[in-house]
Amino acid sequence: MPVQRQALEVWRSALADRGSRLIDDFSHPTLAAACSLASEGSDVARALRSYDALLQTNHRVGLAAEIGRRALARAVAGGLGAEGFARELFAEATSYYVSRDLPSYVGGPGRVENTTKAIELKNQLKESTRSLIAKHRLTKVNDDNWVRYVSSALESLRGGR
């Protein structure tokens, strides 16, 4: 099965499992703020301190918050800006969902041969996600635009428009 098709299946499964909670988690204003932080400078430690303060103020914990932290660190370190943050956010989420389910598909007949191949597949799935998310433009980061952006991105990830 092609990597793009596998990535679609990962996201269809995640959305079927978590539904509107997944959308709510990823469209939360704290992640919109992280997206803005990603375009404001090159000091990773400062960006992460600001993000952690936002999480504490907004009482946010959980998967999306942690994935947002990782995406912010990568985006700031790489000078990727807001759109780079979004690509990394969804790539990290893909990595999480693949890592959660992939071990049961390693080593059996017709499955991923070994852990080295599993890591390669996970990296290909992350790259496929980045490529798909790169097609979405984020012109101005604010809470409303972020919600629309996340909804559109998730629709694409599950095979919609």
Q: Tokens 């946010």 map to which residue?
A: 60
Q: Residue 29 carries which side chain, given as an amino acid letter?
A: P
pLDDT of residue 103: 63
- Helix, strand, or coil here: 28? coil
pLDDT of residue 139: 79
Q: Is 106:114 a contact under the CB 8 Å cutoff?
A: yes
pLDDT of residue 104: 61
pLDDT of residue 161: 61
pLDDT of residue 126: 95
Six-digit token string for 72: 């912010």
* Cβ contacts of 50 within 8 Å, gap of 6 or more: 37
Residues of the chain under the 50 pLDDT cut:
none
